[in-house]
Structure 1
């Protein structure tokens, strides 16, 4: 599916598509929402040359949204985040039970004269409640490429991953295998990512990811308030039932522990 990605609106080393979904824990349903432009601001701890700029991405298509592994990832994320109290962001509507999930399918490319940066903005947050990142695959990438570093919220925005205060570094992790997934509470931890480095400098290197930005609906005064419709997508409709959380222990089956 990542072979069908197209040029990114602001980054020359990236190919992209995005789409918006509503995770509805009352109806137990995920559904595709209509297209809206995308914006992240400096006030949301995202400092880059395109901060505050409305960006228009090509849309994800049925080959992704109807894929059952992708739909399972939507369900997985909702089951992990619902009912968990986290630090709240200003100007989001926490009275709502709905979650707005903006999904990005991204390919970061390193080739001659072009270094692929999964997070050109350096240390940042994504302006949401939860950021989930899932690896689809990579080609010709060194084993120490694309390491995600987690930082205390006191860390200064926009610093490079290797220039940060070691006292505020809380950990690091690297996606290795298909569907390796990281979930970050976005208003409690900042993060940065090191570049994609080609193992063979004579050939391009790629890293394909799914990024799930999930937050409550934007309220009045929020930079995304005018671009946060809950109307369904008429051209690319999708809805899928979501499982209910298990509240009672099961017997006779395998146990699952989440740490």
Structure 2
């Protein structure tokens, strides 16, 4: 499925992001269409995406892999305001993340330019607005745990965007934007039915999000997600896949 086949907002039509999240637990599209104004290709976007060249190696990979680079920060978000929270370790229960869970993981934070910049704030406030409308309970604050990820593809070593396999993140919603893809094949995102026993059921959809700005937004309770490994494309010696990922939870 092409992301362009599941368009977001259009004049005079219901918001397909909200409809998708409500009706089937997911929506996909491109962020410029969703916002109704271009963000990709702007000077602000160029400064935002350039920061992926300054990510640190993830030192917490229990599989011994050195293919993931990342930074991590947390925010409180509403439809009108995004506030950076004090930096702390990212934690997941072992039951949620069988590979890397169960230990505090203190990643390098976002640079000030990203954390306080217009693109990150635009994306996160847009997420809050979609979720407010999806749940139709009035404005609320959303707790966003946010990653800048780069997955490397090198000869003889597959880069794994989801090294833990098909999984939940233990939150309410997951928003993923593809920033860039260079010299790779793979990196297809799939959603699966979440079964009551913690396993995943049948595949619901597979999406290869196109950069810049292709996104997937999914309900982390109703669905589970996974991404196929990335490997160098024919004729390429290496490559990478860059993403901006926000996992969002309701504030009490």
- TM-score normalised over the length of structure 1: 0.70
Q: Does the Cα contact within 8 Å between 2:78 and 2:125 map onto a contact in 1? A: no
What CA deviation, in whole Å up to 9, does each residue of 1:180-225 have, x standing for no partner?
111011111001110112114651110010000110248xxxxxxx
Q: Does the Cα contact within 8 Å between 2:177 and 2:243 map onto a contact in 1? A: yes
Does residue 148 of structure 2 align to residue 105 of structure 1?
A: yes
Which residue, out of 59, 62, 75, partners 2:109?
Answer: 59
- For 1:35, the equivalent position in structure 2 comes to 87
What CA deviation, in whole Å up to 9, does each residue of 1:75-131 have, x standing for no partner?
210111014339xxxxxxx9x942110110000001134210000111101111110
- For 1:70, the equivalent position in structure 2 comes to 120
- For 2:25, the equivalent position in structure 1 comes to none
Cα offset, 1:53, TM superposition: 1.3
> Quick one: structure 1 residues 29 and 47, their matched pair in 2 at CA, closer, same or farther if it must change by over 3 Å?
same
What CA deviation, in whole Å up to 9, does each residue of 1:148-202 have, x standing for no partner?
11111128768xxxxx76xx11111111120111101111100111011211465
- For 1:119, the equivalent position in structure 2 comes to 162
Q: Which has the higher contact order (CA 8 A, sep 6+)?
A: 1
1:60 is paired with a residue of what secondary structure? Answer: coil
- For 1:134, the equivalent position in structure 2 comes to 177
- For 2:67, the equivalent position in structure 1 comes to 13
1:2 is paired with a residue of what secondary structure? Answer: helix
Q: Does the Cα contact within 8 Å between 1:133 and 1:212 map onto a contact in 2? A: yes
Q: State the aligned residue count.
A: 197
Which of the two has greater helix per residue? 2
- For 1:209, the equivalent position in structure 2 comes to 243
- For 2:192, the equivalent position in structure 1 comes to 151
Q: Does the Cα contact within 8 Å between 1:100 and 1:215 map onto a contact in 2? A: yes
Report the aligned-residue RMSD.
Answer: 2.4
Q: Does the Cα contact within 8 Å between 2:179 and 2:244 map onto a contact in 1? A: yes
- For 2:227, the equivalent position in structure 1 comes to 193
Unaligned runs of 5+ in 2: 1-50
> Quick one: structure 1 residues 54 and 141, their matched pair in 2 at CA, closer, same or farther if it must change by over 3 Å?
same
Q: Which has the larger radius of gyration?
A: 1
What CA deviation, in whole Å up to 9, does each residue of 1:38-77 have, x standing for no partner?
111244x3322x2211111000012322332222111210
Q: Does the Cα contact within 8 Å between 2:132 and 2:140 map onto a contact in 1? A: no
> Quick one: structure 1 residues 7 and 153, their matched pair in 2 at CA, closer, same or farther if it must change by over 3 Å?
same
